[in-house]
Amino acid sequence: MSGDETQGFPGLGERLAAVREGIADACRRASRDPDGVTLIVVTKFHPASLVSALAELGVRDVGENRHQEAQAKAEELAALDLRWHFVGQLQTKKARQAARYASAIHSIDRERLVDALADGERVIDAFVQINLTDEPGRGGVEPPGIEALAERVLEAPSLRLRGVMAVAPLDEAPERAFERLAGYSERVRALEPEASAISAGMTHDYAEAIAAGATHLRIGSAITGKRPDPR
Ligand SMILES: *Cc1c(COP(=O)(O)O)cnc(C)c1O
């Protein structure tokens, strides 16, 4: 655990182990199989060396929210066989490039973005991001638009619709927000039964997300420690 790779990051292995334990506990309380939950470690703003230290500790799924940073890290660490999850706002003009290194894009929030990704060179996983706040423009499609956007993804040859994604609002109990998300997930599953994934749960609300059925957790600071300021 304190091999060369993790030396520069004191406590990283312990924090990862604590989060894995926390996930196992939450699964027990929810009577869920932990194998049904994928941990994505969000490494944004941290150096590629931290990502390789995580890989050394057995992490395979990593999340990033800015294209240029993600692309640079994915290139540098191409030998590591990691799955890169893009979780941030994605500009339409950067979409095709992101699809080259990303295995999954969790932030599909508009039809133009789907169109930009529709004819890529390989098939990648797509999550429809849903806005759980009352404020339009907070990231994510508004709930009435879920079906149209999901249908668009289903028609895109190089996208595989996996399910829904959301960030819990700051001003609401996460339990309530994730309950709504579970309902939106059912609406997507009514269109495509295999699109049953729910990407939800971050450092402060992953236990609530597991209780509400989350299948993909996006956890950053609980594992990586405090984020450096973005460059
Ligand atoms: C940064 C980020 C996370 C991880 O946040 P933490 O609170 O550090 O766990 C998860 N999802 C998205 C979309 C993010 O941008």
Atom index in ligand 1 nearest the CA of residue 44 equals: 1
169-182 mean pLDDT: 97
pLDDT at 60 over 90: yes
Look at residue 1 in the predicted model and tell me its pLDDT: 47
Segments forming the whole domain that contains residue 136: 3-224
Query: Which pLDDT tens digit goes with each residue over 104-113?
Result: 999 999 999 9
pLDDT at 199 over 60: yes
% of the chain residues with pLDDT over 90: 93
Q: Which residues, other chains included, contact 38 with Cβ-Cβ below 8 Å and sequence gap of 6+?
A: 61, 215, 216, 217
User: Does the beta carbon of 188 lie inside 6 Å of ligand 1?
Assistant: no
Look at residue 228 in the predicted model and tell me its pLDDT: 86
pTM listed for this prediction: 0.96
Would you say residue 109 lies in a domain?
Answer: yes
Query: Which pLDDT tens digit goes with each residue over 120-136?
Result: 999 999 999 999 999 98
Angle at 10 between CA 84 and CA 62, to 5 degrees: 5
Would you say residue 171 lies in a domain?
Answer: yes
**Number of domains composing the chain:** 1
Look at residue 209 in the predicted model and tell me its pLDDT: 98
Look at residue 231 in the predicted model and tell me its pLDDT: 67
Would you say residue 128 lies in a domain?
Answer: yes
User: Does the beta carbon of 103 lie inside 6 Å of ligand 1?
Assistant: no
Would you say residue 189 lies in a domain?
Answer: yes
Nearest Cα to Cα of residue 161 among 202, 118, 213, 212:
118
Would you say residue 35 lies in a domain?
Answer: yes
What is the chain's mean pLDDT, rounded? 96
Rounded Cα gap, residues 48 and 74, in angstroms: 8
The residue contributing the CA closest to ligand 1 atom 6 is 220
Look at residue 160 in the predicted model and tell me its pLDDT: 98
Return the exposure string of 64-76: e unless at least 16 CB atoms fall within 10 Å of the residue's CB, then b.
Answer: bbbbebbbebbee
177-186 mean pLDDT: 98
Would you say residue 230 lies in a domain?
Answer: no
User: Does the beta carbon of 44 lie inside 6 Å of ligand 1?
Assistant: yes
- Residue 48, Cβ neighbours under 10 Å: how many? 16
Query: Which pLDDT tens digit goes with each residue over 69-112?
Result: 999 999 999 999 999 999 999 999 999 999 999 999 999 999 99
> Which one is predicted more confidently, 133 or 1?
133
Q: Ligand 1 centroid vs 202 CA: distance in angstroms?
A: 6
User: Does the beta carbon of 73 lie inside 6 Å of ligand 1?
Assistant: no
Query: Which pLDDT tens digit goes with each residue over 145-173?
Result: 999 999 999 999 999 999 999 999 999 99
Q: Ligand 1 centroid vs 80 CA: distance in angstroms?
A: 23
pLDDT at 4 over 80: no
Look at residue 2 in the predicted model and tell me its pLDDT: 46
Rounded Cα gap, residues 158 and 96, in angstroms: 11
User: Does the beta carbon of 46 lie inside 6 Å of ligand 1?
Assistant: no
15-44 mean pLDDT: 98
User: Does the beta carbon of 174 lie inside 6 Å of ligand 1?
Assistant: no
- CATH number of the domain enclosing 11: 3.20.20.10
Atom index in ligand 1 nearest the CA of residue 227 equals: 8
Look at residue 8 in the predicted model and tell me its pLDDT: 87
To the nearest 10°, report the CA torsion of 15, 170, 175, 46.
Answer: -20
